[in-house]
Amino acid sequence: MRSREASQAELASFQGLWPGGFFEGDPSDPAFGLWGVTSFLGVSHAVYLGCCKPYVNPSTVVLEIGCGRGAWTKLMLHARKLYCLDALSAEHNRFHEYVGRHSHVVYIQVQDFSLREIPLDSIDFVFSYDALCHVSFAGISEYAENLFPRMRKGAHAIWMVADYGKYNAFLRRQAQLCVLNALFPRRDLFLLRGLQRLIVSGIVAWNNRRYRL
Ligand SMILES: C[S@@+](CC[C@H](N)C(=O)[O-])C[C@H]1O[C@@H](n2cnc3c(N)ncnc32)[C@H](O)[C@@H]1O
């Protein structure tokens, strides 16, 4: 253990730093990042890090609902087995072109919400992103009912479902949430803020046209 003097010298080295107390911004502000525009990562990547990666290992049996071309599937290929369900065929989704062919990956084009192809008490992790938000509440409920007996004790399920209130609030707040609001974080660059507002409103308008909002 180092000496008490060494500890005190380390603490003393901070004295006088950051007058008024360190404060770079409010972490509850979605446009605040300590390193300005280079502080940000995409929502999908954050979902991957927080909601997908921690739950998949070589002994996991995964059920993915609404896999599309397999953007998320490909990140879970180290699982023991993957059941990938979609309303569209693998050919339509060009699933195997993107994911490849693997003996432990089973693609199923669903005809209903019964999940009959999935063995009971077999699934460790259920993942569904940007799929159930396109499905009716009745369909989601049917999936949930039929899923429960197929999940093993202690299994996890991460589902993205639609929340129209949150979605509409996001659309209304696009200009505030834009990452480019962090372009000129320093107060002495306030003259550039007008340019920043112009860029942000242009991007929001372009987004709205692109997604026909
Ligand atoms: C917007 S895509 C998202 C694909 C993928 N999850 C992703 O994030 O890249 C939605 C997918 O859900 C599928 N889908 C729609 N209704 C479904 C249902 N009831 N069961 C399974 N898949 C469904 C669609 O065919 C489509 O491939």
pLDDT tens string 147-159:
999 999 999 999 9
Dump strand ranges (E) for 19-78. 61-65
Same domain, 178 and 150: no
68 within ligand 1 shell (Cβ under 6 A): yes
Neighbours of 173 (CB within 10 A): 11
Rounded average pLDDT over 6-30: 93
Q: What is the CATH number of the domain that holds 142?
A: 3.40.50.150
Question: CA separation (Å) from 112 to 88, 122, 133?
Answer: 12, 20, 17
Residue 183 has pLDDT above 80, yes or no: no
Distance CA 130, CA 1 (A): 52
Query: For residue 131, what pLDDT is reported?
Result: 97
Q: What percent of the chain has pLDDT over 90?
A: 72
Task: Tell me the two tokens of residue 147.
Answer: 């899923």
- Residue 207 alpha carbon to ligand 1 centre in Å: 22
52, 57, 60, 63: CA torsion to nearest 10: 30
Task: Tell me the two tokens of residue 151.
Answer: 């999940």
Please indicate, yes or no, if residue 135 is contained in any of the structural domains.
yes
106 against 196, higher pLDDT = 106
Same domain, 153 and 196: no
Residue 1 has pLDDT above 90, yes or no: no
Residue 121 has pLDDT above 90, yes or no: yes
Look over the chain and give the mean of its residue pLDDT values, rounded to a whole number. Answer: 93
- Residue 134 alpha carbon to ligand 1 centre in Å: 8
Query: For residue 147, what pLDDT is reported?
Result: 98
130 within ligand 1 shell (Cβ under 6 A): yes
Rounded average pLDDT over 45-53: 97
Same domain, 49 and 134: yes
Rounded average pLDDT over 17-45: 89
Same domain, 49 and 99: yes
Whose alpha carbon is nearest atom 13 of ligand 1? 66
Q: Which domain holds residue 108?
A: 43-159
Say if CB 62 and CB 127 are below 8 A apart: yes
**Nearest atom in ligand 1 to 128's CA:** 6
Nearest in space to 64 (alpha carbons), one of 115, 137, 116: 115
Rounded average pLDDT over 126-148: 96
Same domain, 116 and 88: yes
Q: How many domains does the chain have?
A: 2
Q: Which residues contact 132 (CB under 8 A, 6 or more apart)?
A: 65, 66, 140, 143, 159, 160, 161, 162
Amino acid at 140: I
Distance CA 103, CA 105 (A): 6
Rounded average pLDDT over 92-118: 98
Query: For residue 81, what pLDDT is reported?
Result: 98
Please indicate, yes or no, if residue 18 is contained in any of the structural domains.
no
Same domain, 102 and 173: no
Query: For residue 187, what pLDDT is reported?
Result: 66
